[in-house]
A and B are shown apart, each in its own frame.
Chain A
Amino acid sequence: MEKGLIVRDLRVSVESKEILKGIDLTVEPGRVHALMGPNGSGKSTLSFALTGHPKYAITGGTATLDGTHLLALAPHERARAGLFLSFQYPAAIPGVSVANFLRTARTALRPDDVLPPAKFKKLVTEKMQLLGMETAMISRYVNDGFSGGEKKRLEMLQMAVFSPRYAILDETDSGLDVDALRAVGESVNAVRSANSETGLLVITHYPRILQYLHPDRVHVMMDGRIVKEGAADLAERIERDGYDPIREEVAGGVA
């Protein structure tokens, strides 16, 4: 069995338009991978296609999670296999408390390790402290009336409570001011330190959040393809020069 979240030649269409044109990507356990690219390059499509959103049609390729083939599974089966997505725009579920949601989801994700109420409460309280969150949030309705920053923190809390094998963080930095960004960045690190085996795929348009996350590997996506890969310094280069030099390089490479 090959460890890792391994994507091979993945092709995805939305409403008959091909968005991903053959993606190859490997996320290793315990590593931070950054997926960068300009707007519209297909980054979010990759996250939805891997987690099984019904709007995204897979037209070719494979994706495996520690050897389990993901693409034939329903979204909840992929989640149970250990895949987590931190949504860019998480949906609100009015009337369902954060506590109820976390408990129901954790029970579904880990049927072999269902915690009694007291232990579950302890786990959630611990994780909230780890993330510097107010415990009052636990009785609010899921994402209902949450600020942008609160939504992202709740995604991080879920990641901490579920401890998935692989997590995709889709534009977790978008729409946040500098302070909220730092808080979220620190949250991710806190979760990482507690779940050292979790492999992370951090999708971002801007390199800002990478100041906090220190990626092991950087992948650059353009027009539905991974066009360049490198170490952390690649992100620094993008921060300094933008995407244009890479775009020219890719065009030049083809010629």
Chain B
Amino acid sequence: MATELIKNDTTELFEEYKYGFHDEAKPAFSTGKGLTREIVAQISEMKNEPGWMTDFRLKSYEIFVSKPIPWWGDQKALGDIDFDDIQYYVRATDAVQQQDWDKVPDDVRKTFDKLGIPEAERKFLGGVSAQYDSEVVYHNIRKDLDNLGVFFCDMDTAVRDHPEIVKKYFGTVIPPGDNKFAALNSAVWSGGSFAWIPKGVKVDTPLQAYFRINSANMGQFERTLLITEENASMHYIEGCTAPKFSASSLHSAVVELIAMDGGSIRYTTIQNWYRNIFNLVTKRAKAYRNATVQWVDGNIGSRLTMKYPAIYLMGEGARGEVLSMAFGGSGQHQDAGAKVIHAAPNTTSIITNKSVSAHGGKTTYRGLVEVMPGAVGTKTRVKCDALIMDDVSASDTLPVMKINEQHSTVEHEASVSKVGEEQIFYAMSRGLSEDEAVGMIVNGFFDFFVKELPMEYAVELNRLVKMEMEGAVG
């Protein structure tokens, strides 16, 4: 049993993962490859959406068609995306949404068993929202969340059940015209999480969702919208992993966070996409007066990741933090960073980024800190460190600071280093093989990030890093 395998020996899980696993889940409905106005309308129709959402999608489709791919970034990899060779909507099963784990169809459940969801749920879940292909098939909300008046569901359900809140906030942080991939997501989005925490409510247990791609050439365009009203707080966690398949695949999510006055949102994610996936994600938050937003963002895997979690500090006293790690292995480019806009006085931000490149992989830190005129008393600190494991790997640091207000404090430090021969020898002289030594050193390098994760994620990340580091030096 896969479940038992997880419980008893997680190592085996990761060894299996190493080669990718791919269950024979039969998609029940798909729009086929390529994207037209008709397909966009069809997606909306399939979902029984209200007219305003259909209009939003169609308008977004026009923007997607008219916008070029970004002129910056990894042009070679971006040029390899064949938009006509991607399936934009797949529904895994016709089964209606399940609250009860036992009723989730077998092949779907097996896939999630491999990911350890039941285990994770048992340990510390507030609620599980598990996305399979483009549709949410398993959804469980704890009773006390209901009692608190919290809405936590998938985005499709939210459009149906909470249209007033969705209409008010959807697309307000990241409008469809923001960039080509945001426009694409806005046109074809499916699944993703919606959470709304009412005024003054503090949700202590993390809200969780798991995502996974499991159909060749299938794009995943989840849409997440998290809102904390005044003085409300939440911690949202999303883990990603993907099975092996051959053709290039596109993942392009849009995540919008809104923390109203005194609210706080912490968004934690580890993404571990298979190495053929383009992971082009737009994540942005708005933090109002005395609100706090934290992005904790881990990137492993994918062919190309472009992701710069952003925070707009809109109100006085707002705080933002972006804590991120990236691992670029063979044939991979992690182009990740952060963006913080100080648009109000006495706002503070901290950006910490650590990246490792190995086996010919590449990492890029791309960051922007902007202090608007009048944002007096602003404090910002940026720290990015890159570790390069061998002579065929590379790292770039591209920090941009636009400081338009003199009365602000700006700190920036960056370092690029090669893994130390003396460190490796020291650890080997204590009985660790070279791979084990390198794994330990790299995990140490990422410790600042792992410390911020719940235990299970921390263990998983440590294992993944060790696995990725095998044969990294020499």
A residues apposed to B, CB below 8 Å: 51-54, 74-76, 78-80, 84-85, 87, 90-96, 101, 104-106, 108-109, 141, 158, 162
Task: Determine the distance from Cα of A54 to Cα of B421 in the docked complex, in whole angstroms.
Answer: 9
Distance, CA A84 to CA B420, complexed state (A): 20
Interchain CA distance A44-B444 in the complex, whole Å:
28
- Chain B, 418-445, contact with A by CB distance < 8 Å: what is the 0/1 string? 0011110111111111101100110111
By a CB distance below 8 angstroms, the chain A residues around B445 are 94-95
**B344 to chain A: closest CB distance in Å?**
35
Are B426 and A105 interface neighbours, CB within 8 A? no
- Judge whether A90 and B425 touch: CB under 8 Å: no
A91 near B443 (CB under 8 angstroms)? no
Q: Which residue of B lies closest to A75 (CB)?
A: B428
Point out the residue from B422, B428, B440 that lies within 8 Å of A96, measured CB to CB. Answer: B440
Measured CA separation A234–B132 after assembly (Å): 77
Q: Is the CB of A76 within 8 A of B426?
A: no
Docked-complex contact A54 and B425, CB < 8 angstroms: yes
Alpha-carbon separation in the docked complex, A101 to B444 (Å): 10
In the complex, given contacts A76-B429, A93-B444, what are 17 additional A-B residue pairs having Cβ atoms less than 8 angstroms apart? A76-B433, A78-B429, A90-B426, A91-B426, A94-B447, A95-B443, A95-B446, A96-B447, A101-B430, A104-B432, A106-B431, A108-B430, A109-B430, A141-B444, A158-B430, A162-B430, A162-B431
Q: Which of B420, B433, B434, B447 contacts A91 (CB 8 A)?
A: B420
Nearest 4 A-B pairs (CB), nearest first?
Answer: A95-B444, A95-B447, A108-B431, A105-B430
Output the residue of B428, B436, B437 with the most chain A CB within 10 A: B428
A to B contact number (C-beta, < 8 Å)? 80
CB distance from B208 to the nearest CB of A (A): 26
The reply to whether B425 and A96 form a contact with Cβ atoms under 8 Å apart is no
Minimum CB–CB distance for B452 against chain A, Å: 13
Q: Is the CB of A74 within 8 A of B431?
A: no
Are A93 and B440 touching (Cβ within 8 A)?
yes
State whether the Cβ of B448 lies closer than 8 Å to any Cβ in chain A: yes
Instruction: Name A93's contact: one of B434, B441, B448 (CB within 8 Å).
Output: B441
A96 touches B426 (CB 8 A): no
The residue of chain B having its C-beta at the shortest distance from the C-beta of A81 within the complex is B431
**Complex contact B430–A74 (CB within 8 A):** no
Interfacial residues of chain B within 386-431, with CB under 8 A of chain A in the complex: 420-423, 425-431
Assembly CA distance A101 to B441 (angstroms): 10
Closest beta carbon of chain A to B13's beta carbon, Å: 21
28 contacts between A and B (CB under 8 A): A51-B429, A75-B428, A75-B429, A76-B428, A76-B432, A76-B433, A78-B429, A79-B431, A85-B429, A87-B429, A93-B423, A93-B426, A94-B445, A94-B447, A95-B444, A95-B446, A95-B448, A96-B440, A96-B447, A101-B430, A104-B432, A104-B440, A105-B427, A105-B430, A105-B432, A108-B433, A109-B431, A162-B431
Q: Are B429 and A96 in contact (CB under 8 A)?
A: no
Of B429, B434, B440, which is in contact with the most chain A CB atoms at under 10 Å from its CB? B429
Shortest CB-to-CB span from A105 to chain B, Å, is 4
Q: Which of B420, B423, B428, B443 contacts A74 (CB 8 A)?
A: B428
- Residue in A closest to B451 when the chains form the complex, CB atoms: A95
Q: Please report the C-alpha to C-alpha distance between residue A91 and residue B440 in the assembled complex, in whole angstroms.
A: 13
Closest to A94 in B: B444
A79 to B431, CA, bound (A): 5
Q: Considering the chains assembled together, what is the distance between the CA atoms of A80 and B423 in angstroms? A: 18
Judge whether B428 and A91 touch: CB under 8 Å: no
Is the CB–CB distance between A53 and B444 below 8 Å? no
- Output the residue of A74, A87, A93 with the most chain B CB within 10 A: A93
- Taking a contact as CB atoms closer than 8 A, the residue among A75, A80, A105, A108 that contacts B425 in the complex is A75
Looking across the interface, which residue of chain B has its beta carbon closest to that of A105?
A: B430
In Å, the complex CA distance between A220 and B429 comes to: 26
